[in-house]
């Protein structure tokens, strides 16, 4: 008989391979959980260590475990706890980690020797079939080793598996206490590694949550939970109902006794569509995903900057001096900031407000104004074979849009859009064009939306120049039996000047709109953030890790400088 033994060997090999893969898969899954939930994992491990120490104390007091071994076990777990200071980063050559490994071996050997020696008072004999309750069973011994000797070291081992890839550019070197750049994985970091890890974890988690304007509910509640865990008082402010029926709300947080502070630090939690998932490219050290730049990069850097300043005993930041405001709807109508501005939560006497938007790590001295309008054209429908019997709304709209292009280029006599040396020319963007019902029907209805970026003047002045430029076209339309109407969206605003008086920053102007003009009050206004607006709304929105790090340091500087006023 030789076939059956071969089958037995084959089964043994396959079974061993399956068991090995199962264990490896389990460890990989656990490391993934640690990677995804590092804050929760650290808290769980800390509580686990103290629970084991309490259990060890009870075993000594109640079950008369040896005092010397109990003290050794509790002291070992205190050493294990020190590895959590940079969790989940565990460096193999760290003396603390090496000591932890040695203590695991010592604990295993001494407790194994203890349990292998029967108590002197027992009536133990090799063939005694009666149970002597002074001698622990195999299950009790195995459970003790599993919980009190191996559990915490095993958890640290899992963390070691996760630590290498938990976040971009984390490395494993010990951070310098004064936050100077350090070498890790070939990169020089500007932040201490524990701060960097917490910061990039925050950034990753909020980018992973889809929060297109109108659907900010989930990221809002995640942020509320995070801020509360870090010691902030938090209040939410209702801003209506979103498209999916969930409540939309702003998040106001303050670390001190009062929500009414000298300085307000603000950004927005909504993004433009479509949602793009979080990813990290090791080749260019960049984080990709919708909102990674606009404006969750600013948001994460602002929160980290405030938390770091509050935790720094040498930093002159009073918890009662600063508050955080994160609003919805910035990408659409600014309804989040306008709701806050008109509410009792706005004290109207901030000394300064620090807004977060992608500015390439530069201070913004001002941005263009903004307004928008829709042109509605009504004609007369007819069969396309007899176009003279109708009035084509599409043809009229084409003439109107062509006239607007000429106005922007300065080719319309008697009408001129405002301009300025600081902001350049006012620009128009024809965003959408709709018209007609079918290819063989003279269009009865047509419309177009137009966005205007004001380099000077006011929305009223732009409206006047637009209608002046279109007056001849409208006159011809009305004579032909057509109709043109303008629908102006929101109030709009002219160019917005901001403060740029902090030394060490380059100052620029930008052409996009922000929430800055919607916040009422007589306060200094600073606009700053990491990342570039040129990729912010694109399919390749991305931000460099180093730019994020620099933003934390710059926000700290801006906060302290603003509070000096």
- Give the pLDDT confidence of 514-563 residue by residue, as tens digits: 999 999 999 999 999 999 999 999 999 999 999 999 999 999 999 999 99
The residue ranking higher by pLDDT, 188 or 375, is 375
Among candidate residues 526, 503, 497, the one with its CA nearest the CA of residue 266 = 526
Tell me the residue length of the chain: 565
Q: Which helix (H) or strand (E) holds 486?
A: strand 483-493
* Residues 6 or more apart in contact with residue 340 via CB below 8 angstroms: 237, 250, 252, 325, 327, 346, 519
Catalytic residue (choose from 35, 216, 330, 357): 330
Q: pLDDT (tens digit, 9 = 90+) per residue, 481-490? A: 999 999 997 7
Q: Is residue 185 part of a domain?
A: no
Q: Which helix (H) or strand (E) holds 324?
A: strand 322-327
351 shares a domain with 408: no
In this prediction, residue 328 has a pLDDT band, given cuts at 50, 70 and 90, of: very high
Q: Is residue 165 part of a domain?
A: no
Stretch among 2-11, 191-200, 340-349 having the lowest mean pLDDT: 2-11
Predicted local confidence at residue 187, as pLDDT? 56
Stretch among 183-197, 305-319, 417-431 having the lowest mean pLDDT: 183-197
User: Three-state DSSP class for 371?
Assistant: strand
489 shares a domain with 509: no
User: Three-state DSSP class for 279?
Assistant: strand
Nearest-angstrom CA–CA distance, 471 and 400: 10
Beta strands in 116-199 (DSSP E): 182-184, 187-189
CATH number for the domain including 518? 3.40.630.10
Among candidate residues 210, 264, 214, the one with its CA nearest the CA of residue 239 = 214
Total domains present in the chain: 3
Q: Is residue 177 part of a domain?
A: no
Nearest-angstrom CA–CA distance, 367 and 352: 18
407 shares a domain with 338: no
Exposure class string for 389-427: b at 16+ Cβ within 10 A, else e = ebbbbbbbbbbbbebbeebbeeebeebebbebeebeebe
What does the block give as tokens for 553?
């340091």
The residue ranking higher by pLDDT, 183 or 390, is 390
Question: What spatial distance separates the first Cα and last Cα of the chain, rounded to whole Å?
Answer: 94
State what percent of residues in the chain have pLDDT above 70. 87
Please name every residue paired with 326 in a beta bridge, in sequence order, or none if there are none.
251, 267
Q: Give Cα separations from 14 to 10, 115, 348 (angstroms).
A: 6, 35, 73
Predicted local confidence at residue 186, as pLDDT? 44
Predicted local confidence at residue 181, as pLDDT? 31
What does the block give as tokens for 412?
């319309």
375 shares a domain with 264: no
Q: How open is the CA angle 414-417-420, to the nearest 5 degrees? A: 125
Stretch among 105-114, 422-431, 531-540 having the lowest mean pLDDT: 105-114
The residue ranking higher by pLDDT, 555 or 86, is 555
Predicted local confidence at residue 184, as pLDDT? 39
Please name every residue paired with 94 in a beta bridge, in sequence order, or none if there are none.
none
* Residues 6 or more apart in contact with residue 234 via CB below 8 angstroms: 224, 227, 228, 251, 252, 253
Nearest-angstrom CA–CA distance, 77 and 87: 15
Q: Print the domain residue range for 428.
A: 369-493
- At 134, give phi and psi (nearest 5°): -85, -10
**One-character DSSP codes across 378-403:** E-B-EETT-GGGSB-HHHHHHHHHHH
422 shares a domain with 307: no
User: Three-state DSSP class for 38?
Assistant: helix
Domain boundary among 457, 476, 493: 493
263 shares a domain with 312: yes
Q: Any idea what DSSP says for residue 455?
A: S
Domain boundary among 444, 472, 493: 493
- Against a cut of 0.75, is the pTM above it? no
- How crowded is residue 180: how many other Cβ atoms within 10 Å of its Cβ? 12
Predicted local confidence at residue 236, as pLDDT? 97
Whether residue 311 contacts residue 177, with contact meaning beta carbons closer than 8 Å, is answered with: no
The residue ranking higher by pLDDT, 433 or 160, is 433
Predicted local confidence at residue 10, as pLDDT? 82
Q: H helices of 312-347, where?
A: 335-341
Q: Which helix (H) or strand (E) holds 356?
A: strand 352-356
431 shares a domain with 356: no
Computed over every residue of the chain, the mean pLDDT equals: 88
The shares of helix, strand and coil residues in the chain, as percent rounded to the nearest 5, are 45, 20, 35
Q: Any idea what DSSP says for residue 456?
A: S
- How crowded is residue 311: how many other Cβ atoms within 10 Å of its Cβ? 12
Q: Compute the average pLDDT of residues 345-351.
A: 96
Predicted local confidence at residue 118, as pLDDT? 62
Residue 36 has pLDDT above 90, yes or no: no
Predicted local confidence at residue 37, as pLDDT? 64
Q: Is residue 515 part of a domain?
A: yes
Residue 7 has pLDDT above 80, yes or no: no
Whether residue 239 contacts residue 335, with contact meaning beta carbons closer than 8 Å, is answered with: yes
Nearest-angstrom CA–CA distance, 131 and 123: 10
Predicted local confidence at residue 91, as pLDDT? 64
Residue 453 has pLDDT above 70, yes or no: yes
In this prediction, residue 124 has a pLDDT band, given cuts at 50, 70 and 90, of: very low
What does the block give as tokens for 41?
């994992």
The residue ranking higher by pLDDT, 126 or 428, is 428
User: Three-state DSSP class for 122?
Assistant: coil
Q: Is residue 447 part of a domain?
A: yes
Q: Is residue 48 part of a domain?
A: yes
Stretch among 253-262, 280-289, 307-316, 496-505 having the lowest mean pLDDT: 307-316
Q: pLDDT (tens digit, 9 = 90+) per residue, 490-528? A: 779 999 999 999 999 999 999 999 999 999 999 999 999
Q: Is residue 326 part of a domain?
A: yes
Q: Is residue 49 part of a domain?
A: yes
CATH number for the domain including 408? 3.30.70.360
Nearest-angstrom CA–CA distance, 175 and 191: 8
Domain boundary among 493, 521, 555: 493
Residue 399 has pLDDT above 70, yes or no: yes
Whether residue 431 contacts residue 451, with contact meaning beta carbons closer than 8 Å, is answered with: yes
Is 330 one of the catalytic residues? yes
Radius of gyration from C-alpha coordinates of the chain:
33
Predicted local confidence at residue 185, as pLDDT? 47
361 shares a domain with 258: yes
The residue ranking higher by pLDDT, 521 or 140, is 521
Stretch among 86-95, 373-382, 449-458 having the lowest mean pLDDT: 86-95
Predicted local confidence at residue 114, as pLDDT? 87
Q: Compute the average pLDDT of residues 270-277.
A: 96
Predicted local confidence at residue 172, as pLDDT? 36
Measure CA 550 to chain center: 16
Q: Compute the average pLDDT of residues 394-414.
A: 97
Stretch among 48-62, 369-383, 528-542 having the lowest mean pLDDT: 48-62
152 shares a domain with 42: yes
198 shares a domain with 333: yes
321 shares a domain with 270: yes
Nearest-angstrom CA–CA distance, 57 and 65: 9
In this prediction, residue 151 has a pLDDT band, given cuts at 50, 70 and 90, of: confident
Q: How open is the CA angle 7-13-15, to the nearest 5 degrees? A: 100
The residue ranking higher by pLDDT, 52 or 27, is 52
Nearest-angstrom CA–CA distance, 96 and 75: 13
291 shares a domain with 225: yes
Predicted local confidence at residue 299, as pLDDT? 99
Stretch among 1-5, 142-146, 391-395, 513-517 having the lowest mean pLDDT: 1-5
């Amino acid at each position: 008989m030789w076939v059956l033994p071969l089958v037995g060997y084959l089964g043994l090999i396959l079974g061993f391979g399956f068991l090995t893969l199962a264990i490896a898969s389990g460890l990989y899954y656990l490391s993934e959980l640690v990677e995804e939930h590092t804050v929760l994992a650290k808290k769980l491990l800390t509580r686990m260590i103290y629970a084991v120490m309490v259990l060890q104390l009870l075993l000594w007091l109640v079950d008369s475990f040896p005092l010397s071994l109990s003290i050794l076990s509790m002291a070992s777990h205190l050493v294990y706890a020190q590895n959590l200071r940079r969790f989940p980063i565990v460096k193999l050559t760290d003396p603390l980690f090496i000591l932890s490994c040695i203590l695991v071996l010592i604990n295993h050997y001494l407790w194994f020797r203890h349990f292998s020696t029967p108590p002197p008072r027992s009536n133990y004999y090799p063939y005694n079939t009666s149970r002597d309750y002074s001698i622990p069973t195999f299950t009790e011994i195995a459970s003790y080793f599993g919980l009190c000797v191996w559990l915490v070291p095993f958890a640290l081992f899992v963390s070691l598996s996760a630590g290498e890839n938990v976040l971009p550019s984390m490395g494993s070197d010990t951070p310098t206490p004064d936050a100077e750049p350090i070498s890790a994985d070939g990169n020089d970091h500007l932040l201490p590694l524990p701060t960097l890890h917490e910061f990039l974890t925050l950034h990753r988690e909020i980018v992973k949550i889809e929060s297109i304007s109108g659907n900010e509910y989930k990221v809002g509640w995640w942020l509320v939970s995070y801020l509360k865990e870090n010691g902030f008082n938090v209040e939410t402010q209702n801003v209506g109902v979103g498209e999916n029926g969930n409540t939309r709300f702003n998040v106001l947080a303050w670390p001190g006794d009062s929500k009414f502070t000298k300085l307000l630090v603000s950004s927005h939690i909504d993004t433009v569509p479509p949602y793009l998932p979080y990813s990290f490219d090791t080749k260019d050290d960049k984080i990709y995903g919708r909102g990674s730049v606009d404006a969750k990069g600013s948001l994460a850097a602002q929160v980290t900057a405030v938390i770091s300043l509050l935790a720094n005993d040498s930093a002159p930041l009073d918890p009662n001096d600063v508050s955080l405001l994160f609003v919805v709807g910035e990408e659409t109508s600014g309804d989040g900031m306008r709701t806050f501005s008109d509410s009792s939560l706005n004290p109207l006497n901030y000394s300064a407000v620090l807004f977060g938007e992608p500015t390439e790590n530069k201070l913004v001295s001002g941005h263009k104004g903004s307004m928008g309008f829709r042109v509605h054209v009504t004609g007369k429908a007819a069969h396309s074979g007899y176009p003279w019997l109708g009035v084509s709304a599409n043809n009229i709209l084409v003439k109107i849009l062509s006239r607007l292009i000429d106005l922007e280029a300065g080719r319309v006599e008697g009408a001129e859009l405002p301009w300025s040396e600081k902001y350049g020319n006012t620009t128009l963007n024809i965003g959408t064009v709709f018209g007609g019902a079918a290819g063989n029907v003279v269009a009865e209805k047509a419309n177009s939306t137009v966005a205007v970026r004001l380099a000077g003047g006011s929305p009223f002045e732009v409206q006047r120049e637009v209608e002046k430029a279109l007056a001849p076209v409208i006159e011809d339309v009305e004579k032909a039996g057509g109709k043109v109407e303008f629908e102006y969206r929101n109030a709009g605003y002219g160019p917005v000047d901001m403060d740029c008086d902090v030394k060490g920053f380059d100052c620029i102007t930008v052409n996009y709109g922000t929430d800055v003009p919607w916040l009422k009050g007589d306060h200094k206004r600073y606009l700053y953030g990491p990342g570039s607006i040129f990729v912010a709304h694109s399919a390749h929105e991305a931000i460099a890790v180093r730019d994020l790090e620099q933003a934390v340091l710059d926000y700290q500087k801006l906060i302290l400088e603003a509070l000096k006023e």
